Structure 1
Amino acid sequence: MAKAYQEGRGWSIRGQYKGQEIYKSGFASARKAEDYLREQQCLLDQGGKPARQGPERTALCVALSDYARECLPYRKGARQDAQRLNHYLRAANLPIIKLLPFAGDSAGGEGTPPVKPRIRHWTVTLVDEPVREIPDSLRAHRAEQAKRAEPVQQARARLACMKVGDIQTYHLNTLINVMKDAGLSAASIGLERAELRRFFSHAQKVWHWGAHRVNPASKVSVPKIDNVRTRILTSSEFDRVVQQLSQYDNLYVLPLVLFMLETATRSSEPIEHAHWSDVDWDRKILRLQDAKAGGREVPLSNVALDILRDLREALQQRAQTVTRREHREKWLAAAQGGPIFRTSYNALKKAWSVACKAAGVDDSKPHDLRRTSATRYALQFNGDIFVVKTITGHKTDKMAARYVQISAEIVARLMDNESLPEDMAPARVKRHSGPPAALPENVLSLAQYRRSA
C-alpha cells in the first residue's frame, strides 16, 4: 500500500487502486492520510469507479454545470433550479444555464421497457451571460440590490471554486449565515440549501462520489420557514375588485379572475394549460393535459361554463369592432381554438395590484383566489375533503386542508345558523339563514336522547 509523505506543512497520500488514481493533501498526520486511502479503496470496492474526474478534482461550479445538464431536462420546475444554480456559475465566471422547452417526442420508441418513461421538459445549454440593458430609472435600484447581494455572491464564489470533496457542513453553514445577515428570507435560504442537498445526493448515488459519508447539506442549520398564509377575500372585497377589473383594458383578466375563483385553479393552469379543445361542455369538465401535479380534470359549474361562453362571445364581438383584417382574424382565432386565456401571469399580477389598490383591498395576491375558493367550497359542502380535493386538485388531505381557512368568527355564526355578512363570508359563498335543517330519522337530537334515557 502507498505510504503517506510530507508535503509542505502537512501530509499527503497518492496511490492507484483499480485504475483510479487517489490523491489528497493537507492531512495533520501520516496515519490520517493512510486512513483516507483505505477509505477510498473501500468506496471503490462498494460503488465502483467514480464518474468524471471525481470529487477531489472537480470544483463545485463545474460539477453543478454537469448536474444541470444531466438532471434539469426532466424537472418540470427547472426554471427555479436553474436560477439558483446560476448564482454559483455566475460567481465563478462560467457560462450560465439556459433552458428551452423541449420540442421532441417524450414517448419511448420500439424496444422501450414497459415502465413509466422519464418525461423530458427542457433542453439545457450553457451560454455566456448577455449584457443586460438597465433603464436609467432602475439604475439606482439595481445598484442598491447588487450592493446588498455582494457579500452573498462572494460567499458563493468561495464555495463554487472549492473541490467538491473538500466541502464540509461548516462551509455551507458559513454561506447560510451570510445569507441571513444579508436579509434573505427563510424560504429563499431553505430552497438554496435544498438545491445543494439534491446535488450532493445525486453525486453520491449516481456518480459514486464517496467523499462524504453524510450529505454535507443535510446537517446545515437553516431558519424556520413560516410561509403559512391565511388571507381570503370576502364577498365585499371581491365585488369591489371586480368592479375595478371591469374597467381594465385587458379583455382576459376579468374572466380569468372569475374563472379562478369559481374553479379554485392555480393561475398557471388556465393561463398555460387550458385550451378550448380541453373543455367538455356535456360532462362539464376541463381536461388539463398538464399542471403542477400532472394532468387532471377540473369540474366546471354552470357559472364557470357561463364565464367561458361570455369570454368567447366577447372575443367574437371584439373581432367585429376592429378594422384591420389580420387583427380580426386574430380575435376570431382566439375564440375558436388554442389557449383560452391568452395573457400572462405578469399581466394578471399587474391588473390585480392596480384593481386592489383602487378598491382599497390590502395585502391580496392572485393566489388568494384559490384559498378563497377552497374555503368557500369547504363551507358549501360541509367540509367534505374528498369534494374539496377533487375541485382543487390536491393529492393529499393535508395540502387541501391548508387552503381551507375557516375562522372562529365564521364558525360562531354557523353554530347559531346565522347568515354570514359580506365583510366576513368568503367571496361567492352561498350564505344560508333560517331554521336548522331537520335531522335524519335515524339520528336523535340531544333533547330526544335525554327524554328517552
Structure 2
Amino acid sequence: MASIQKRGTGWRAQVRRAGFPSQSATFDTKRDAEAWSREIERSMDRGIYVDLREAQIITLAEALERYGREVVPAKGQRQRELNRVRQLQTFPIARKALGAIRGADMAAFRDWRASGGAGPNTIRLDLALISNVYVTASREWGMEGLPNPVASIRKPRVPAGRERRVRPGELGAIMAVADMTLSCMAVFAVATAMRRGEIAGLRWADVDLRRCTARLTKTKNGDGRTVPLSPIAAEALSLLPSASQERDGLVFGMSSNAITIAWRRACARSGVQGLTFHDLRHEGASRLFEDTDLDVMEIRLITGHRTLQMLARYTHLRADRLVERLAGRPRVAA
C-alpha cells in the first residue's frame, strides 16, 4: 500500500513492496501523488516495473542542462536551440522531476504558454525539445522505460504558412531607396530562394562565379548544399561594392539582424507594407515553379527543404501564371 504524506507545499508519495526497490516522488497535489502511486503498483503487479529512481531525482531543468551540454552542440541551429533550453529552464514545470511530470502536466504547460501569448509554432517547438529530452534520457542516460508525457497530448495546430507574394513594382520601389548592398541582396534572395541566415553567412570563398554556384555549409536544418546561381543571381553578386575586393570575407557583410533592420527601414521609406525579407524566399521558391522547367525534387535541392510538405508551405503560385503555362503547352489528343 502506498504512503501519501503532506510535505511543505506538496505531497510525497512512497511505494514499498517486497522484491522491489522503494520508490518515492513529490507532487504539487495529492491527486497526482495518488495517481503516480497507483501507476507504480500496477506496473509491479503486471511484471513490467522499471526502476525510475533516477528520473524521480533529476529535475527537468537539470535534464535540460545536460541536454544542452551533450546534445545541442551537434545540432545545426545550436544557438537557437540553446536559447530555447535556457528559456524552458526558467518555467515552473522545469522544477519538477522527470518521472513526476505526467501528460496532464504537459497539457497544462501547453495551455499556460498559449495564455501567455506564445504562438502555436513556438509551443510546438517547446514541446518537441522537451520530448527530445525524454527520448534521450530513455535511450542514452540509463532511464529505460521513462514515459514521455509529451507523446500523449494534443499539439497546437500550426496556422497556414504566409501567402505574401512580391507585388508588381514593390521590389523596384524598395531598391530605389535602399543602398546597393541591400538592393543586390534582395535580387539575390529572390533568385536563389536562400534563407536570410544563409545569405548573411555566405562567404566569397564559397562562391564560384565561373561555375555559377554557391556552397552553403551552415544551414537551418544542418545539411550543407550547393545552390546553382542563375544569371540574375550572379549579376547581383558582381554589382556588389565589395566584389572588386579580395574575396576572403562575407559576401554581403551584414548579420541576419542587420538585414532585417535595413529591410524594414527600406520598406518604410518606400511605402511597401507587409513584406518581410523572409517573404523573398517564398517568392523565390514560387518563381522556380512558375518560371522554370525544374521538377519538384530539383527545386527542393535548391531551396534546402527537407520535405515536400515544407516546400509546399513555402510555395504560393499565381493562378494567372499557371494559366499562361497551360496555354503554352501542346494540346493532348483525346
Task: Tell me whether the two structures share a fold, i.e. TM-score over 0.5.
Answer: yes
Structure 1 residue identity aligned to 2:227: V
Q: Distance in 2 between matches of 1:29 and 1:310?
A: 66
Residue by residue, what CA displacement relative to the aligned partner does 1:11-67 show, whole Å, maximum 9, x if unpaired? Answer: 7334797xx9532265589987654556798435xxxxx7xx711122222222122
Structure 1 residue identity aligned to 2:77: G
**Partner of residue 162, structure 2:** 229
Question: Which of 250, 255, 260 is residue 339 of structure 1 equivalent to?
Answer: 250
Structure 1 residue identity aligned to 2:73: P
Shift of 1:338: 2.0
CA contact (8 A) 2:120 2:158 kept: yes
Note the aligned Cα RMSD (angstroms). Answer: 3.2
**Partner of residue 315, structure 2:** 404
CA contact (8 A) 2:205 2:247 kept: no
1:308–1:244 distance in 2 versus 1, CA, 3 Å: same
Structure 1 residue identity aligned to 2:75: R
Q: After alignment, is 293-302 or 168-177 more displaced?
A: 293-302
Shift of 1:72: 1.1
Question: Which of 140, 150, 165 is residue 217 of structure 1 equivalent to?
Answer: 150
Gaps of 5+ in 1: 45-49, 92-155, 318-331, 418-435, 440-444
1:78–1:276 distance in 2 versus 1, CA, 3 Å: closer
1:64 equivalenced with 2:88 (yes/no): no
Residue by residue, what CA displacement relative to the aligned partner does 1:168-193 show, whole Å, maximum 9, x if unpaired? Answer: 11111112222222232111111111
1:244 equivalenced with 2:177 (yes/no): yes
Q: Distance in 2 between matches of 1:164 and 1:414?
A: 56
SS at match of 2:312: helix
SS at match of 2:236: helix
SS at match of 2:54: coil
1:15–1:390 distance in 2 versus 1, CA, 3 Å: same
Q: Distance in 1 between matches of 2:230 and 2:21?
A: 67
Aligned length: 321
Shift of 1:221: 2.4
Q: Distance in 2 between matches of 1:289 and 1:183?
A: 35
Structure 2 residue identity aligned to 1:283: R
Alignment of 1:110-259 (within 5 A): 156-157=91-92, 159-210=93-144, 212=146, 214-246=147-179, 252-259=181-188
Q: Distance in 1 between matches of 2:158 and 2:85?
A: 21
Q: Distance in 2 between matches of 1:391 and 1:77?
A: 20
1:70–1:163 distance in 2 versus 1, CA, 3 Å: same
Residue by residue, what CA displacement relative to the aligned partner does 1:280-309 show, whole Å, maximum 9, x if unpaired? Answer: 233221222332342211111223222222
Residue by residue, what CA displacement relative to the aligned partner does 1:345-370 show, whole Å, maximum 9, x if unpaired? Answer: 11111111111122222211111111
Shift of 1:74: 1.0
Q: Provide the TM-score with structure 1 as the length reference.
A: 0.62
Q: Distance in 1 between matches of 2:291 and 2:37?
A: 73
CA contact (8 A) 1:197 1:218 kept: yes
Residue by residue, what CA displacement relative to the aligned partner does 1:125-154 show, whole Å, maximum 9, x if unpaired? Answer: xxxxxxxxxxxxxxxxxxxxxxxxxxxxxx
Shift of 1:235: 3.4
SS at match of 1:283: coil
CA contact (8 A) 1:15 1:23 kept: no
Structure 2 residue identity aligned to 1:315: S
Gaps of 5+ in 2: 7-11, 26-32
Q: Distance in 2 between matches of 1:394 and 1:32?
A: 42
Q: Distance in 2 between matches of 1:231 and 1:352?
A: 16
Residue by residue, what CA displacement relative to the aligned partner does 1:101-137 show, whole Å, maximum 9, x if unpaired? Answer: xxxxxxxxxxxxxxxxxxxxxxxxxxxxxxxxxxxxx
**Larger radius of gyration between Structure 1 and Structure 2:** 1
Q: Distance in 1 between matches of 2:229 and 2:35?
A: 69
Q: Distance in 1 between matches of 2:114 and 2:272?
A: 32
**Partner of residue 274, structure 2:** 363
Q: Distance in 1 between matches of 2:299 and 2:183?
A: 24
1:263 equivalenced with 2:192 (yes/no): yes
**Partner of residue 12, structure 1:** 14
SS at match of 1:252: helix
Question: Which of 303, 312, 326 is residue 392 of structure 1 equivalent to?
Answer: 303
**Partner of residue 9, structure 2:** none
Structure ranking higher on relative contact order (CA contacts 8 Å, 6+ apart) = 2
Q: Distance in 2 between matches of 1:32 and 1:390?
A: 48
Q: Provide the TM-score with structure 2 as the length reference.
A: 0.82
Structure 1 residue identity aligned to 2:198: E
**Partner of residue 43, structure 1:** 50
CA contact (8 A) 2:76 2:219 kept: no
